[in-house]
Structure 1
Amino acid sequence: MLGAFFGPAYRDWWLSYARNPKQLPLYQNHWLVRESAARAFARGLVNPVFIGPEEPIEIDGPYALLGDHSRTGIMTVDARFIGTHARLSRSMRFVEIARRIAPEILAGQLPVSPMNRAGETRRGAEHPAPALTSTSPLTYLAGLATRALLLTWLLLPSRARAAAYRTLKRLGEMIYPVPDPTLQVRRLPFGLYLKYANDADMANNEFNALRLVHQYTSIPAPKPLDLIPHHSNSLFLMTRVPGVPLWRCQDYLSDAELDAIAAQLTDYLAQLRAIPRKHFQNANPDAVISNTLGGPCRDHRIRSGDPVGPFRDEAAFSRCLRFPDDPARRGHEIVFTHADLNPRNILVDEVVLPGGGTGWRVTGLVDWETAGYYPEYWDYTKALFEGFRWTARYRALVKRVFAELGDYERELDVERRSWESGDGV
């Protein structure tokens, strides 16, 4: 059995220690960790194993288990024992997932986890799942008060608002961990996020895209609150939407939960496609394919994100792509498009459903900076762009989402040939 996880050489090394434990120094065979870390290890929640909504613990960081303690004389655990656990962590996570979504598979083999007993959820009684919707009078009044406060706040000079946002950014970095310092977005207190961009046009486009999404659809997305444009450091304040990226949870969810998520996404995309162009059509009637403001398109799929267009028709747009004369490059309706739909930008969470039960649903679509009006196939092919990054389960989900919206396999074939030729790289 060990050979299936380790391979013969690693297995034989491990068994040699197991058969003669005295050859290993005491401090390398036993070490103390916090109780929370021990629980995480027992469940396979160790970075880089990202399966499910919970954050794995780091084994390499400021207080790393494998850090260099040579100057202190403290002996550390043999790194190969951490490596042993790492090889088992993914399997341990999948065992826990099986307990949650298919306990009958493990019946008679492993005890059913308490989190799967009737009437309980992953969050437990102390942390109930959030409701899917809330329409109480108190919520409505709170919304009115918030809008009034926001309008008053926006009357202040932009320099004062920017200083306040930067202060909140520093405070947020102290409260909330920053998983990737290179990301240009920070979580703030009070349910807010601050995005700082070095391109004012893209910041303006995302602000407008979110405004249109909230005006015309019921899609859960951040609410745009304030934008302070600057040629090199625009500040964009928005609300936070709950959830974790789908890529973290796609293996954690049951088939039924993914089916419900697919149905949601189909509905959201249908709503998105119905957003009109009338808000800029009079000012720029030639902008048929454009960003949400009628300006140039900015998409990392096209010429490394350099501005192109706007275009008066699909034929002109296709000239920016490879194989522009292919029949699959013309004859499409031009619709409002997210243009960066992928499992990083789809947030999901466990919510309370209208019937009183719980289930996993889409709770947010984020990163709208490249949104605009594109040929109707664009969201489908972009969702599968660099498909080698995504799992077969996610790719099947995308096909289910778009099944009711149109058959774009010819377009995907042309796009794949374009990508293989270096287009969009």
Structure 2
Amino acid sequence: MQAIIQEDQDVQKALSMIASLTLTPPEHRLLSCFVQDAVDPKAAALYVLQRASRNGKDLIRMETELYNLLEDWKRLVERCISGDEVVTCSTRRWILLHHEVVETMVGYLWLNLPISVRIIPTDVIAGLETPSGASLREILAVFVTMGELRQLSNWLNVPSDDLSQLRNTWTLAGTAAVAFRTGRIQILPDWISGKSANGLENSTCKYMLSYGLVRPFVGIENNEGKIVRSLEVVSISTKDPEGLPLPSAFLFGIHARFCNSLRWLQVQDQMQRGWPGSAFWHSCKTTFRKVINYTIPMFRHLWLYFPRWSRALTYRLLLKVGNKMYGRTLNWVQRVPFGLYIKHGPGKFVPSGEGPALGLVERYTNVAAPRLIDLLTTESETYLVMTRVPGTPLEEAIQSFSYAERSQLAADIRSYVSQFRQIPNPNSAAICSADGGPAFDYRLGDPAGPFHSEEAFNKHVIFRSSLRSAIHDHHHEIFFSHADFSPTNILVERGKLSGIVDFGCAGFYPEYWEYTKGIYGHFGLETAWLDTLSDAFSGLYKDELAAEKLLWENGNTF
């Protein structure tokens, strides 16, 4: 399906036409989903092109027609959000009489205070046969095809006391029910079993659960209290396939096609409400943090006078308290009281260059980054103690950024990079970690180097001569780099950059490395981060990126 979307000229023309409209980011994505998530993307694309040319080639009329299509699509998508009380009393009684079977049916998934929800609400097709609903019927027929629309109508028009109602019903725990209704989770049929979505399911069916494309993702727990990962196989079963049949795979498939649109509609609503919290209190907190940052050098100077054993004991105590207060962050990173984070563990979990990198950033830049408090190594463990940088990971918020906010974010990242490049290299090696040791970077696999020239570095990363590109013969300046620009490490508050964290890979690298490493591992349909990063680097290093991609595709790093 992705090949059709990427290679079909009509699909690309329709998507380009949508991108040219003056819309918000979520509205662009919402209307694009009408094409990309359709049963037949080419047919949906041709419909968009036909709607655009309905009133001739006048640009204003073309845009007006597509705006009308967007509003119709929003109205249709809104119909897919079902409420809590969606199952009739008779159907509820049937489910409750078979509660033991319901538990088995939910099985692997979630069961606490179960809620029975419709997979596809009957509101989706309500009134489509009337003149006022004609436009919605038209676009629904294009989105799911006329054949599937007729089949969907048959499913949703069954009497309320018909046993088939159960095949449009799913019993979930409260949190999972909300996530399913709002499109945060998709149940994808056919990927595992390969069976037709139209047949009667057996006593057990396997599906693939997906959190979709739109962040932030919701963390859903199974009945064992473990988080269900995206694209994980889930089982749904029943002891009585005829008396209590499983939900319809066909209806799951229809629901999955609407999920991304549902999420983008919510993002649009959130953008209209504005960023949560008071701008005044945010300004006050920012000022307070600046005052606190001025006191850090003095506190650090005094704290390091304490004996090593007492500091190590304090850190172990803080780790236990932090785990109880904030929960486990990562196995080797823990938030602790007093506005601190502690990275801890054997040496491989705390790169030797991270502490020195934080010191260089604090000394030579105004970048909002963690301030190093202590780097303490004992016989069994290393403790890297640093201040907490406020904010939310960009990957959870960038979808809610306006285009203006994205442009400002790119400018702020550009400023950070410019400041990084002013940091002098105190080491004899040219390409190395901040302390002069081997470069620690996931892109390289194991720690490598240090290297005394770019040529020596290239010999290491180019593992086959056939993969060498002409750009590798060009000279590049060597600069200090964070080397792990990622939406998880860039923090934001109220639509603005608030800081950058995780300097474990930081060191001195060729000038293009900051950009290409930021792209590394971040491909897909959602390009908000890729576009922002390209803007931050003013569109430079395209040849270097192409050369790096060739190495990524043929290598086995990461």
Counterpart of 2:451, as a letter, is F
Q: Is the 8 A contact 1:123 1:129 kept in 2?
A: no
Question: Which has more radius of gyration?
Answer: 2
Match in the other structure for 1:90: 260
Q: Choose the corresponding residue for 1:237, options 385, 400, 419.
A: 385
Confirm or deny that 1:394 pairs with 2:538. no
Aligned pair partner of 1:56 in 218, 221, 237 = 218
Render the CA deviation track for 1:362-418: whole Å, top value 9, x for unaligned. 1121221111111111112112223435733322222211117xx322222221222
Distance change (3 Å), C-alpha of 1:325 and 1:400? closer
2:47 counterpart residue number: none
The residue that corresponds to 1:16 in the other structure is: 155
Task: State how far apart, in whole Å, the 2-side matches of 1:251 and 1:3 are.
Answer: 27
Q: Determine helix, strand or coil for the equivalent of 1:187.
A: strand
Q: Return the alpha-carbon distance in structure 2 between the equivalents of residues 321 and 139 of structure 1.
A: 41
- Matched with 1:292 is 434
Residue 417 in structure 1 maps to residue 553 in structure 2:
no
Q: Quick one: distance in 2 between partners of 1:290 and 1:152?
A: 31
Provide the C-alpha distance between the structure 2 equivalents of 1:298 and 1:331, rounded to a whole number of angstroms. 22
Q: Deviations over 1:268-301 (max 9, x none)?
A: 1011111111xx34xxx3x122111122212222
SS in 1 for 2:399: coil
- What are the Cα deviations for residues 317-353 of structure 1, in whole angstroms up to 9, with x where unaligned? 2111215684434411111111111222222221xxx
Q: Secondary structure at the match of 1:235?
A: strand
Q: 1:410 to 1:29 in 2, by over 3 A?
A: closer
Mapped partners of 1:50, 1:164: distance in 2: 42
Distance 1:349 1:312, change over 3 A: same
Say whether the 8 Å CA contact 1:377–1:408 is kept in structure 2. yes
Name the stretch that deviates more: 232-241 or 38-47. 38-47
Q: Which amino acid aligns with 2:377?
A: P
Aligned pair partner of 2:282 in 82, 106, 130: 130
Q: Secondary structure at the match of 1:388?
A: coil
Give me the TM-score of the superposition, normalised by structure 2: 0.57
* SS of equivalent residue, structure 2 residue 353: helix
The reply on whether 1:157 has 2:307 as its aligned counterpart is yes
Partner of residue 355, structure 1: none
Q: Deviations over 1:23-81 (max 9, x none)?
A: 2799x9697966x887766655568357456x7352535569999999xxxx9x96979
The CA deviation at 1:208 is: 1.0
- Letter of the 1:300 counterpart: Y
Between the aligned partners of 2:307 and 2:237, the Cα distance in structure 1 is 52
Partner of residue 493, structure 2 = 349
Query: Kindly tell me: are residues 250 and 276 of structure 1, through their superposed partners in 2, closer, same or farther at Cα, counting changes over 3 Å?
Result: same
Q: Secondary structure, in 3 states, of the residue corresponding to 2:360?
A: helix
Q: 2:520 is matched with which residue? A: 385
SS in 2 for 1:241: coil
How does 1:263-412 map onto structure 2 within 5 Å?
A: 263-277=411-425, 280-281=426-427, 285=428, 287-302=429-444, 304-306=445-447, 308-322=448-462, 323=465, 326-350=470-494, 360-388=495-523, 391-403=526-538, 407-412=540-545
Aligned equivalents of 1:313, 1:319: Cα separation in 2: 10
- In the TM superposition, residue 13 of structure 1 has moved relative to its aligned partner by 7.4
- The answer (yes or no) to whether the contact 2:358–2:372 under 8 Å persists in 1 is yes
> Would the aligned equivalents of 1:315 and 1:330 in 2 still touch at CA under 8 Å?
no
* Pair 1:132–1:9, CA change in 2 (3 A): farther
Q: Give the distance between the partners of 2:518 and 2:528, measured in 1 at CA.
A: 13
Cα displacement (A) at 1:265: 0.7
Higher relative contact order (CA 8 A, sep 6+): 1
Instruction: Tell me how far apart the structure 2 counterparts of residues 69 and 152 of structure 1 sit (CA, whole Å).
Output: 62
Letter of the 2:510 counterpart: P
Q: Shift of residue 10 of structure 1?
A: 11
Deviates more, 1:10-19 or 1:184-193: 10-19
Q: What's 2:343 paired with?
A: 195
Q: Single out whichever of 43-52 and 248-257 deviates more from structure 2.
A: 43-52
Q: Return the offset for 1:216.
A: 1.2
Say whether the 8 Å CA contact 2:350–2:382 is kept in structure 1.
no
Q: 1:163 to 1:397 in 2, by over 3 A?
A: same
The 1:57–1:309 alpha-carbon spacing in structure 2 relative to 1, beyond 3 Å, is closer
Do the aligned partners of residues 144 and 325 (structure 1) sit closer, same or farther apart at CA in structure 2, a change above 3 Å counting? closer
Shift of 1:201: 9.2
CA distance in 2, matches of 1:421, 1:415: 10
Query: Equivalents in 1 of 2:277, 2:384: separation in Å?
Result: 35
Partners of 1:51 and 1:252 within 8 A in 2: no
Closer, same or farther: CA 52–32 of 1 in aligned 2, 3 Å: closer
Structure 1: which amino acid aligns with 2:218? P
Letter aligned with residue 130 of structure 1: H
Separation in 1, partners of 2:150, 2:332:
44
Partner SS, residue 218 of structure 1 = coil
Structure 1 residues 232 and 397, CA, compared in 2 at 3 Å: closer, same or farther? farther
Letter in 1 for 2:265: V
Give ranges in structure 2 of 5+ residues lacking alignment. Answer: 1-139, 186-209, 229-233, 239-243
Query: Do the aligned residues in 2 keep the contact of 1:17 with 1:24 (CA within 8 Å)?
Result: no
One-letter amino acid of the structure 2 residue matched with residue 99 of structure 1: D
Change beyond 3 A, Cα 1:244–1:321: same
Quick one: which amino acid aligns to residue 48 of structure 1? Y
Please give the secondary structure, in 1, of the residue aligned with 2:461. coil
1:356: which partner in 2? none
Q: Does the C-alpha gap of structure 1 residues 389 and 17 become closer, same or farther in structure 2, counting only changes over 3 Å? A: closer
Do the aligned partners of residues 132 and 218 (structure 1) sit closer, same or farther apart at CA in structure 2, a change above 3 Å counting? farther
How far residue 200 of structure 1 moved from its aligned partner, in angstroms, is: 6.0
Call closer, same or farther: CA 1:312–1:166 in 2, change over 3 Å.
same
The residue aligned with 2:74 is none
Contact 1:225 1:239 in 2 (8 A): yes
Task: Check the 8 A contact 1:60/1:67 in 2, yes or no.
Answer: no
Say if 1:312 and 1:67 are closer, same or farther in 2 by CA, change over 3 A: closer
**Contact 2:319 2:334 (C-alpha < 8 Å) held by counterparts:** yes
3-state SS of paired residue (2:509): strand
1 CA distance for matches of 2:145 and 2:326? 37
3-state SS of the aligned residue for 1:60?
coil
